[in-house]
Chain A
Amino acid sequence: MNKTSHVLWVWIPVFIVMLLAVMSLSVTLGAANISWQLVWQIIFSKIPGVSSWIDVSWESNIETIVWDLRLPRVILGAMVGAALALAGALYQGVLRNPLADPFILGVSSGASFGAALVIVLGVNVWWLGSFTLPAVAFLFGFLSLLIVYYLSRVNQKVRLETIILAGVVVQSFVGACLSLVLALSNEKLQTIVFWMMGSLALTEWDYNQMIFPIMIVISIVSLFFIKELNMLGLGEEAAHHSGVSVQRTRFILLVLASIITGAAVSVSGAIGFVGLVVPHIIRLLFGADYRVILPLSIIGGAIFLVGADAFARTIMAPRELPLGVITAFLGAPFFGYLLRRAKRGFF
């Protein structure tokens, strides 16, 4: 057995256990005091087949708090964290840039702009119902990516430097549009700002049902590109000479990364830092092999965001802090510590 599969066999189970621990801890936290045993009993009582083994000995309002309020939020947190970290890992690999994060190509600015428009105009597309906001945000995010790609295409080829610059262009333009909407929206300002800072507070099971399939499909598809990601690491020309069709692979991976970014941002706002830092932490701890980076970033992102959300809603309870603030607050010092400790360059 080689080193890489050794790392995976040891650390994937460890990460999963950590994730389950953080999630169940997070469900117990809050105004009503609920033990983690009770949490798991309630969860198991919902599973067909297992439920007959469990005595329902709790009040129904406890069940409501666990099942309808806290659990959807924790699961959504895990999903959004996983999505952002995966997107960050993909962007960093494809763009070969350590500063790449899920927001670098303007996807999140686009999504935020779309969301702000929906909030200000109060539009509700009837067949989308409460999905109008995430759907429009997603659409705008994806449009931003297409514009970036269109701008950076010269002679049917897209160069890396140009993509990143085009991303900056689109980001600042859409950012300006967003500021304009903010300036013109008097009474809705606070809603938009809170949404932009990132929050899981608006969670319902519905949102989970929307992001879950996207997340699963994109994660699985991206795992098929591990070889290509590693080969891009050796340089684009080297990858071409070894048989990777660079332009096509890059386009597919950027679209995948942007879809999950759009999906995550559309349900929870632009939560910063997760997508930048989690893949870097994994890379610093376990090396740059994408066989390790992808799966561990997915689980690690989930752990990080569930933990950060638990912080955000308990540390100044009953007041809830913006999640984006907490992720940077926890993530930056830890990342700084790892940077100091790292013996070698890490990209």
Chain B
Amino acid sequence: MLELQQVSKTIGDKQIVHDVSFSLDKGKSIGLIGPNGAGKSTLVKLISALEKPSSGCIHFFGEDVQKWSVKKLAQHIAVLSQDGLAPYPITVYDAVLMGRYPHLGFFQREGKKDHELVEDVLETTGLSEFRDQMLDTLSGGERQRVAIAKAMVQHPQLLILDEPTTFLDIGHQRQILNLVQSWQKREGLTVLMVLHDLNLAAQFCDELVLMNQGEIVNIGTSEQIIARETLQSVYQTDPEIIRHPKSNIPQILL
């Protein structure tokens, strides 16, 4: 459903993303990994049309996303960013309801269906008890959960996660990723995530794309990517690889 063809991005005379091509099938999850400055975040901005590629094209169901309106884009793609939602004093309910925005006309108000959907999502994300609380009184982890609820209400086909767990403790990290995973299973959602934590990436993604200096170094399953030689050349460090005792997925130790 999502296809990148030879996408490059140059800012000034610096090439941030160079000749990136990969495709993502419906219902799959792909993890973008790589060291700082590898161009992951820029790539995400290109896919969500926050920025335009210098060359190459990004197709979504065969259509060029750069030609889409912001609204149409939001009907299909939701993004969960590192900073999440600003601590702005409006209620959780109102913030989640905003996810319906791309599906409403300019003069249209939210209808009964929209409100029902919000109720459902508050239930699934365990936010019902927070519904009347102001966003600025919530912790970072709770706010990130509100951001997920808002994205769910948006009903996208593709969910992009741009390091959504960076500022969270391990408990909240798991919680957020579990929410995403069960959502994916329930509705056949396609997920593209940028993760710094290689262990989480290995556990939660079907496929990993390893980037370095703006280029794709390797694409494969966690078995193929989470390997000593592969990581060593990119990260300039020598990690130990072990197996997760329950899932048998390769994990790294520093």
A interface residues (Cβ-Cβ under 8 A, vs B): 2-4, 224, 227, 230-231, 233-235, 237-238, 240-246, 283, 287-289, 344-346
Tell me whether B81 and A237 are in contact (CB under 8 A): yes
Closest Cβ of chain A: how far from B124's Cβ, in Å?
19
**Number of chain B interface residues as a range:** 35 or more
Residues in B with CB closer than 8 Å to A242 are 74, 98-99, 101-102, 150, 154
B69 interface hit (Cβ, 8 Å): yes
A344/B93 contact (C-beta < 8 A), A234-B98, A241-B79 known: no
Instruction: Give the residue name and chain of the B residue nearest to A238 (CB).
Output: B85
Q: Are B81 and A238 in contact (CB under 8 A)?
A: yes
The interface stretch among B59-67, B132-140, B166-174 is: B132-140
State the Cβ distance, A160 to closest chain B Cβ, in Å.
Answer: 13
Interface residues of B in 69-96 (CB under 8 A from A): 69-71, 73-75, 77-79, 81, 83-86, 88-91, 93-95
Greatest chain B CB density within 10 A among A241, A244, A245 is at A241
| List of B residues within 8 angstroms of A288 by Cβ | 88-90
With A234-B85, A242-B98 known to touch, is A2 a contact of B93 (CB < 8 Å)? yes
A246 / chain B contacts, CB cutoff of 8 Å: 70
* Chain A: minimal CB distance from B9 (Å): 13
Q: Is the CB of B73 within 8 A of A237?
A: no
Residues of B within 8 A of A237 (CB): 50, 79, 81, 83
Q: Contact at B86–A227, with CB atoms within 8 Å?
A: no
**CB–CB B83/A245 < 8 A:** no
Query: Which residue of chain B lies nearest to A249 when distances are taken between CB atoms in the complex?
Result: B70
Query: Are A235 and B83 CB-contacts (below 8 A) given A243-B71, A244-B101?
Result: yes
Q: Which residues on A sit within 8 Å (CB–CB) of B134?
A: 287, 344
A-B contact pairs, 30 of them (CB 8 A): A4-B94, A224-B106, A227-B101, A230-B90, A231-B101, A233-B88, A234-B86, A235-B85, A237-B79, A237-B81, A238-B84, A240-B48, A241-B48, A241-B74, A241-B77, A241-B78, A242-B74, A242-B98, A242-B150, A243-B73, A243-B74, A243-B102, A244-B70, A245-B70, A287-B89, A287-B134, A288-B90, A289-B90, A289-B94, A344-B89
How far apart are B140's CB and chain A's nearest CB, in angstroms? 14
Q: How many angstroms between the C-alpha atoms of A43 and B45 in the bound complex?
A: 60
Residue of A nearest to B45 (CB): A237
A51 to B79, CA, bound (A): 62
A288's nearest neighbour on chain B, judged by CB, is B89
Partner of B88, one of A3, A234, A244, A245: A234
CB distance from B82 to the nearest CB of A (A): 10
CA distance A2 to B131 in the complex (A): 11
Q: How far is the CA of A240 from the CA of B48 in the complex (A)?
A: 9
- Could you list 8 further interchain pairs (A-B, Cβ under 8 angstroms) beyond the known A234-B135, A244-B70? A230-B98, A234-B85, A240-B48, A242-B74, A242-B101, A243-B102, A246-B70, A345-B136
Bound Cα distance A230, B50 (Å): 20
**Cβ distance A24 to chain B, nearest Cβ, rounded Å:** 35
